[in-house]
Amino acid sequence: MQPAIAIHGLSKTYASGLTALRNVNLEIRRGEIFALLGPNGAGKTTLISIVCGIVNPSAGRVLADGHDIVADYRAARARIGLVPQELSTDAFESVWSTVTFSRGLFGKPANPAYIEKVLRDLSLWDKKDSRIMALSGGMKRRVMIAKALAHEPQILFLDEPTAGVDVELRRGMWDMVRRLRESGVTIILTTHYIEEAQEMADRIGVIRQGEIILVEEKDALMAKLGKRQLTLTLGEPLVRIPQALQDYRLELSADGSQLVYTYDNQEHGGDIARLLQRLGEAGIEFKDLSSSESSLEEIFVSLVHSPS
Ligand SMILES: Nc1ncnc2c1ncn2[C@@H]1O[C@H](COP(=O)(O)OP(=O)(O)OP(=O)(O)O)[C@@H](O)[C@H]1O
């Protein structure tokens, strides 16, 4: 199946000489939610802006639903909806006219029934006659999404959709994005919030200094890179890790009161049973035991901060 977005060898050097993207290759599958995760200045907005035709690439090629974003701009752009980071709407216009106008920009014939559906789906129907300036911040964000959907795009870019949004509203946005995906829209979102990627994405791409350093199924990423730790609080502090336990990846806390065992998610629990048995044989007693799983956040931090 043709990908929703195909990016080949994309690079961008701004007039200032700054290279924001370096040879990016990426395919977004039809119908997926793809989260592009990266620290400030990594190149996320530049990438989205190129795909949406707002910024010119320095090199490379992008196809949106098979249409070249430069040679076949109109067809490519018609398939894409963009919800930018900044709220940009005319404060004095009503919700209805703002959204209807956006559809007209793409040369699509009027379709009040479709606009009504979009506004209802976004819980904006009862605000359709309100001026934008009279809406809350969360409602304004939803208007931005309604505008982006007005021309019935199959691919939706959300640039930092929940930046500065409270927890409740963020959950509401996530639900809404899932519903959009269920309706067949492919979704690409950028985020700083690891939790957002962890919660929403089917696949995750990590971008650092203009390079895509990783693209993985979220579940595979969690399984592959996720580590578990078992912390044993000892009955009596140890001075050093006994010879009999040298085979295990064990660390002793500075005060000798805790042993920490780090293991991969894929490893089986049998290893732990053996470790506990060996501890018993070595006469080491423990009074407490707890386990923890590393989150995507730790994985992300270790990736982004590891040397290039
Ligand atoms: N118009 C421009 N001219 C020159 N440099 C730019 C321009 N736009 C962005 N940059 C630079 O390109 C780099 C990538 O910026 P970009 O906005 O794409 O990053 P980002 O990952 O979206 O960051 P954030 O998470 O902060 O939004 C940054 O170093 C930025 O300063």
Nearest CA to ligand 1 atom 3: 14
The ranges assigned to domains in the chain are 1-79+153-223, 88-152, 226-305
Q: Looking at the domain covering 226-305, what would its CATH class be?
A: alpha beta
Q: How far is the CA of 113 from the centre of ligand 1 (A)?
A: 39
Q: What are 151's two structure tokens?
A: 């021309």
Pocket test for ligand 1, best of 10, 12, 18 (most atoms within 8 A of CB): 18
Quick check: CB of 38 below 6 Å from ligand 1? yes
User: Residue 194 above 80 pLDDT?
Assistant: no
Q: How far is the CA of 300 from the centre of ligand 1 (A)?
A: 20
**1-79+153-223: CATH, from 3.30.70.20, 3.40.50.300, 3.90.320.10, 3.30.70.2390:** 3.40.50.300
User: Residue 264 above 80 pLDDT?
Assistant: no
- Calculate what percentage of the chain has a pLDDT beyond 90: 51
Range of lowest pLDDT (11-15, 116-120, 224-228):
224-228
pLDDT: which is higher, 231 or 86 = 231
Quick check: CB of 191 below 6 Å from ligand 1? no
How many whole angstroms separate alpha carbon 90 and alpha carbon 87? 10
How many whole angstroms separate alpha carbon 36 and alpha carbon 275? 39
- pLDDT tens profile 200-243: 899 999 898 999 988 999 888 777 666 778 899 999 999 988 88
Which atom of ligand 1 lies at the shortest distance from residue 210's CA? 14
- pLDDT tens profile 28-63: 999 999 999 888 889 999 999 999 999 999 999 999
Q: How far is the CA of 210 from the centre of ligand 1 (A)?
A: 10
Which atom of ligand 1 lies at the shortest distance from residue 55's CA? 1
Q: How far is the CA of 42 from the centre of ligand 1 (A)?
A: 7
Quick check: CB of 164 below 6 Å from ligand 1? no
Q: How far is the CA of 11 from the centre of ligand 1 (A)?
A: 13
How many whole angstroms separate alpha carbon 209 and alpha carbon 221? 21
Quick check: CB of 43 below 6 Å from ligand 1? yes
Dihedral (C-alpha) 42, 223, 293, 280: value to the nearest 10 degrees? -140
Nearest CA to ligand 1 atom 26: 40
Distance from the first to the final alpha carbon of the chain:
34
pLDDT at 32: 96
Number of alpha carbons in the 13 Å side-chain half-sphere of residue 81 = 23
Quick check: CB of 98 below 6 Å from ligand 1? no
| ipTM confidence score | 0.96
